[in-house]
């Protein structure tokens, strides 16, 4: 037996789990987006586009042994179905470099992620889609936003989750190019930046589940030279009887300058949610204080509880409240059908010579087939109405058809 063949025999059992534990899934998304800016005299009065998205996700298992090795693959493709230069800018298609007011016919990305596992600790390096309090990748359009970097996650102790890592570049949800990370500065955030972008985002922190009902978390992050964030959360669920509970969610976010900006914001938020069988009633309050609004990486989602379909109510000194109602139609014998509506009102926004106000109303209706030949087929209709005395008024509708095909 040669050395090569002996190694192959030894590697066979060690690599078996790499293949046997692998998963593959193809997500299909058909997305129609229509946003009316309520201004017929504007240079562009609406954004209206239609596209088809494909997301192939392949996740390997880990090789056997004290250090397991694996590899994940992410293939993304967006295809234009309908668009024109006078109604681009929906975020579901990529703009043409040579003609920025025209959408490209297609765009995509191939991402690779290497991974290691030791005990209950994993390290991922390459293409990442973080969902952490200090950074949440955005998947509110056709394709997800992705990052490049390294991420360590440890669950060595029951109830305790630890995270640490760094990111060096971002690929936005309507792009196929990686670039440096910038700070979102829309609305009335009044953020001043001494440099446009940064190529290093550091993060670390964790959460601990003290009891089945109580969880706390702390995370810290820095977008080098631009801002730092400290993020605290307390989450408690109080059972009140059969199919009843009261959830309390308290959050405090502190954003500060990291050397080359004026960022300074305190954010406090409280959310109370009462669940009664298939009904959920929620009320929340969010308050910002300081010299600027809340800072986060442009294009990503954030941890503000009033992040809605269009606005996040994170402007300088803004006070906002929200009322929300959710219903699961399984209570009426229609599993897979759900409904959500909410109203958010913001005030006391610091403008140049006055205080601003805004509000947003959202309604979502969604259905996912639970069985039969169309099992897994989903349809969602999202509607938003935004009114502001310092920004654009918006009426928006999104129609999303989705289907996940399990390949392995």
**For 158-174, how does the pLDDT look when each residue is reduced to its tens digit (9 = 90+)?**
999 999 999 999 999 99
Computed over its alpha carbons, how large is the radius of gyration of the chain?
A: 23
The number of residues in the chain equals 408
Percent of the chain with pLDDT over 70: 96
Top-confidence range, 2-6, 105-109, 404-408: 105-109
pLDDT at 8 over 60: no
Please report the pLDDT score of residue 352 as a whole number. Answer: 85
**How far is the C-alpha of 125 from the C-alpha of 149, rounded, in Å?**
6
pLDDT at 255 over 70: yes
DSSP state of 330: G
Mean pLDDT, residues 310-322 taken together: 97
Please report the pLDDT score of residue 11 as a whole number. Answer: 53
Percent of the chain with pLDDT over 90: 86
| Of 318, 316, 313, residue with least CA distance to 344 | 313
Please report the pLDDT score of residue 10 as a whole number. Answer: 44
End-to-end CA distance of the chain: 35
DSSP state of 21: T
Mean pLDDT, residues 80-89 taken together: 93
Helix, coil or strand: residue 64: coil
Provide the b/e sequence for 255-278 (b: ≥16 CB within 10 Å).
bbbbeebebbbebebbbebebeee
Please give the torsion angle defined by the CA atoms of residues 180, 183, 187 and 193, in that order, rounded to the nearest 10 degrees.
-110
- Confidence band, pLDDT 50/70/90 cuts, at residue 14: low
- Confidence band, pLDDT 50/70/90 cuts, at residue 129: very high
Q: Using one digit for the tens of pLDDT, what is the confidence trace for 277-303?
A: 999 999 999 999 999 999 999 999 999
DSSP state of 301: B
pLDDT at 1 over 50: no
Q: How far is CA 38 from CA 89, 289, 318, in A?
A: 16, 31, 24
Mean residue pLDDT across the chain: 94
Structure token digits, residue 143:
């394709």
Please report the pLDDT score of residue 9 as a whole number. Answer: 44
- CB of 127 within 8 A of CB of 113? yes
Q: Interior CA angle at 138 toward 77 and 325, to 5°? A: 120
DSSP state of 11: H
Please report the pLDDT score of residue 40 as a whole number. Answer: 75
Please report the pLDDT score of residue 2 as a whole number. Answer: 47
């Amino acid at each position: 037996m040669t050395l090569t063949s002996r190694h192959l025999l030894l590697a066979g059992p060690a690599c078996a789990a790499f293949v046997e534990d692998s998963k593959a899934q193809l997500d299909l998304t058909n997305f129609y987006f229509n946003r009316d800016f309520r201004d017929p005299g504007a240079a562009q009065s609406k954004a209206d586009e239609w596209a088809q998205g494909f997301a192939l996700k392949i996740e390997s298992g880990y090789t056997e042994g004290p250090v397991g090795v694996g590899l994940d693959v992410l293939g993304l493709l967006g295809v234009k179905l309908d668009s024109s230069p006078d109604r681009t800018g929906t975020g579901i298609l990529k703009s043409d470099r040579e003609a920025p007011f025209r959408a490209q016919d297609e765009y995509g990305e191939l991402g690779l992620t290497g991974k290691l596992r030791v005990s209950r600790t994993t390290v991922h390096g390459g293409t990442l889609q973080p969902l952490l309090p200090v950074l949440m990748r955005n998947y509110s359009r056709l394709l997800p936003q992705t990052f490049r970097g390294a991420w360590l996650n440890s669950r060595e102790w029951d109830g305790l989750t630890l995270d640490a890592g760094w990111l060096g570049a971002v690929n936005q949800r309507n792009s196929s190019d990686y670039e440096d990370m910038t700070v979102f500065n829309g609305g009335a955030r009044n953020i001043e930046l001494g440099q446009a972008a940064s190529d290093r985002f550091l993060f670390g922190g964790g959460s601990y589940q003290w009891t089945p009902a109580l969880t706390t978390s702390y995370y810290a992050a820095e977008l080098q030279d631009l801002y730092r964030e400290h993020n605290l959360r307390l989450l408690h669920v109080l059972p009140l009887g059969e199919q009843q509970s009261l959830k309390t969610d308290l959050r405090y976010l502190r954003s500060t300058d990291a050397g080359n900006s004026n960022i300074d914001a305190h954010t406090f938020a409280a959310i109370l949610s009462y669940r009664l069988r298939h009904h959920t009633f929620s009320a929340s309050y969010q308050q910002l204080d300081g010299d600027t609004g809340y800072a986060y990486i442009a294009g990503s989602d954030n941890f503000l509880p009033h992040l809605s379909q269009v606005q996040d109510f994170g402007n300088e000194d803004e006070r906002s409240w929200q009322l929300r109602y959710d219903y699961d139609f399984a209570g009426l014998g229609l599993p897979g059908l759900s409904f959500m509506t909410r109203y958010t009102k913001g005030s006391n926004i610091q403008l140049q010579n006055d205080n601003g106000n805004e509000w947003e109303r959202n309604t979502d209706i969604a259905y996912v087939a639970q069985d039969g030949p169309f099992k897994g087929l989903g349809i969602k209709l999202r509607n938003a109405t935004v009114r502001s005395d310092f920004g654009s008024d918006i009426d928006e509708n999104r129609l999303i058809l989705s289907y996940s095909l399990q390949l392995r």
